[in-house]
Amino acid sequence: MNHKFGQQPLNTGRSRKQLVTVALLFGFAFGTATHASAQAFTPPATPQDITPPEGNTAFLVGHAFGSQGYTCLSTSTGGTAWNPTARPEATLFTSFFGNSLQIITHFTSINANQKDFVTKPVPLSGNATWQSSFDTSKVWATAVGHIDAGSDESCPNTGSIQCLLLQSVGNQEGPTGGKLLAKTSFVQRLNTKGGSVPTTACSVGQTQLVPYTADYYFFRPTE
């Protein structure tokens, strides 16, 4: 049996080089994302219903791939219908040297750091959550405005889930002081595609996930 012991140091060295390369890329990506968060840019023009108020500046955008959950429930007429009983879940990416780099995860969680104007106690259903993949800072937000897909250039895909304006109801730094999303004041969901209510017949209790994509723009108070 030939174990090729002579190749082990080479493979080990190669693995170490790969690990160092990955670490350097991750560090550079983190620095790029952090630096980008400090740079204002111009998001698409949007209708008033989904435009953040003056005094807020866009600082980050991520392209999301996710799903909207639906559950089949009884109707008052004795039939059944799909209902959006689960909030969307998604992973947000940005382009990094021509490759997609994960920057944020989007899910539902209990608001652990409510703002003063939020009604307490926290609803057990939780709030829409975005968490940085770099420093684990978070923003919780709830929808305060919407438009139907296909009604504006910023939301052009008819038949998709609505485009939204969401207001922060809580923020949290990462455990080591990460602040990428810690000052987020508003989130826009634009350019939605897919995710709409299923058109198939259903039985009570049945669930279905419908894929969607969207662009999420993050705003914070203008400095």
User: pTM of the full predicted structure?
Assistant: 0.82
Give the whole-angstrom CA distance, residue 154 versus residue 208: 27
Cβ-Cβ contacts under 8 Å for 88 (sequence gap 6 or more) = 66, 67, 68, 69, 106, 128, 161, 195, 212
Tokens in use for 118? 């939020």
Domain ranges in the chain are 18-42+53-221
What integer pLDDT is reported at residue 40 of this predicted model? Answer: 62
Give the whole-angstrom CA distance, residue 175 versus residue 26: 19
Percentage of residues in the chain with pLDDT exceeding 70? Answer: 79
Residue 54 has pLDDT above 80, yes or no: yes
Give the whole-angstrom CA distance, residue 76 versus residue 47: 35
Residue 38 banded pLDDT, cuts 50, 70, 90: very low
Average pLDDT in the 70-88 region? 93
What integer pLDDT is reported at residue 22 of this predicted model? Answer: 39
Tokens in use for 97? 């040297």
Residue 219 has pLDDT above 70, yes or no: yes
161 versus 41: the higher-pLDDT residue is 161
What integer pLDDT is reported at residue 8 of this predicted model? Answer: 46
Please tell me whether residue 7 adopts helix, strand or coil conformation. Answer: helix
pLDDT tens digits for 85-142? 878 999 999 988 889 999 999 999 999 999 988 776 555 568 999 999 999 999 999 9
